[in-house]
Amino acid sequence: MGTFGDAAEPQVRPLDIGGTQFEIYRRIAASSPQSFLFESLSGPETLAETSIIGFDPDETITGYADRLVIEGRDGSSRTVRTDDPVAELRRVLPRAPQGRHRYLGGAVGIVEYEAAGLWEARAPLERDAPLMEFGVYSDGILFDSSEGRPYYFFTGEDRSASIVRAEPARGPFSHSGLRAEPDAAGFERAVEEAREHVRAGDIFQAVLSRRFGFEYGGDPMRVYERLRELNPSPYLYHMKMRNRTIMGASPEMLVRVTGRRVETFPIAGTRPITGDAARDAALGEEMAGDEKEVAEHVMLVDLGRNDIGRVCEPGSVRAEDLMSVRRFSHVQHMVTHVTGTLRGDLDAIDAFGAVFPAGTVTGAPKVRAMEIISSLERARRGGYAGAVGYFASGGSCDFAIAIRSMFLEGGRGYVQAGAGIVYDSVPESELRETEHKAGALLAALREASA
């Protein structure tokens, strides 16, 4: 089977192996230089569907502004020079018939925040840094939450025997030197500057973030193990990539394409779940009646409708369950389900580009907000506020916004978290919001080191 171009229809069969998806993945990852686990453990049923495992990809694609670097499992490497890396990515991705499962192989990885310039000409575009990285997988394991059993799928080589033989490994982990950049005073100054832009009419909102950096050593799998227990989410992920590990517990879909159906789920508004049903209901009602929360949510819904409207059939875009209160593991959010029908001349990559990056991590208007973010944050965001997910060989895609995520490379790691700055934002409150959003990841970091 050739990795690129048209591929045969994948075969799917039950996998005779015991354990949860995490237990199986930990065994596989111990002997695989590159692997991934995508889990759905909580949240609305429309989000929490299928968990996926992949290991040792056929190829790795690293995308830059002017080239794709394609490296094979056999050690081969080639560079494709191009002035349109998105078109080149579309050309080299594998294609196969769409089965009953959204994912049966394809390109799995991350698109960095700074890749926005590949789709949006007005956004700044870095020339030298990698903007996306995908592993191309032709087999893997599916866990359907409705059936509760694993399936192995493959196109070409059947590697299921190596899964059954895999042995688990568990090493120590430690971290040190946790620090926030910018510090509290610096972030509060940036909030005031962003508010000045809002007052001047430049933007309605800008999402400013802080980075919590640290040094680490040992096995990051211990951190992910604690994270999935502390913060089960619709989009849980652990990816061992060539030079780095990325893990996260994102509550928010960026975009999903199934057949011709396009979906996005804007989230704005958060209240805790206390365990007291009456108290939780009151908190949900209070959130739904909060003028600031509602205004922010409506702005993001309008942005989502406009984004997918660029690639959908005229008149097909709908906002379903507008501002409904949905329960997640520890919090309740105000959520709207925005859907549309993809135009016949476009594909999942077009749909991705129409919504990337999410308005919930930029603000609005999107491009001007990104310019202001760049001037106030100064350091590149990298993976934070980008997207983690897949372009399936059958033509579908599913991506989470890369928030509530941790990035580890070469002994250094970071967590990044943002707050939406509007006209009446209070700097101290926005500072606390960044700390709250980073809380579960930093707790997992501490507990994994204990």
The residues annotated as belonging to the active site are 333, 360, 384, 404, 420
Binning the chain into helix, strand and coil, the percentages to the nearest 5 are: 30, 35, 35
CA distances to 150, 151, 285 from 147, rounded to whole Å, are 9, 10, 34
For the chain, the distance separating the N- and C-terminal CA atoms, rounded to the nearest angstrom, is 46
Residue 39 is encoded by which pair of tokens? 């889990």
* Alpha carbon distance 139, 117 (integer Å): 32
* Alpha carbon distance 407, 369 (integer Å): 24
* Alpha carbon distance 262, 309 (integer Å): 10
Amino acid at 331: V
* Alpha carbon distance 369, 123 (integer Å): 10
Alpha-helix runs per DSSP H in 312-411: 348-355, 366-377
* Alpha carbon distance 425, 447 (integer Å): 33
Residue 203's nearest CA partner among 361, 366, 420 is 366
* Alpha carbon distance 96, 118 (integer Å): 26
Residue 425 is encoded by which pair of tokens? 């934002």
Residue 116 is encoded by which pair of tokens? 């926005």
DSSP character string of 103-144: -SSEEEEEE-GGGGGGT-TTS---SSS--EEEEEESEEEEEE
Alpha-helix runs per DSSP H in 356-450: 366-377, 427-449
Q: Contact at 8 Å (CB) between 137 and 106?
A: yes
Residue 27 is encoded by which pair of tokens? 């065994």
* Alpha carbon distance 16, 210 (integer Å): 45
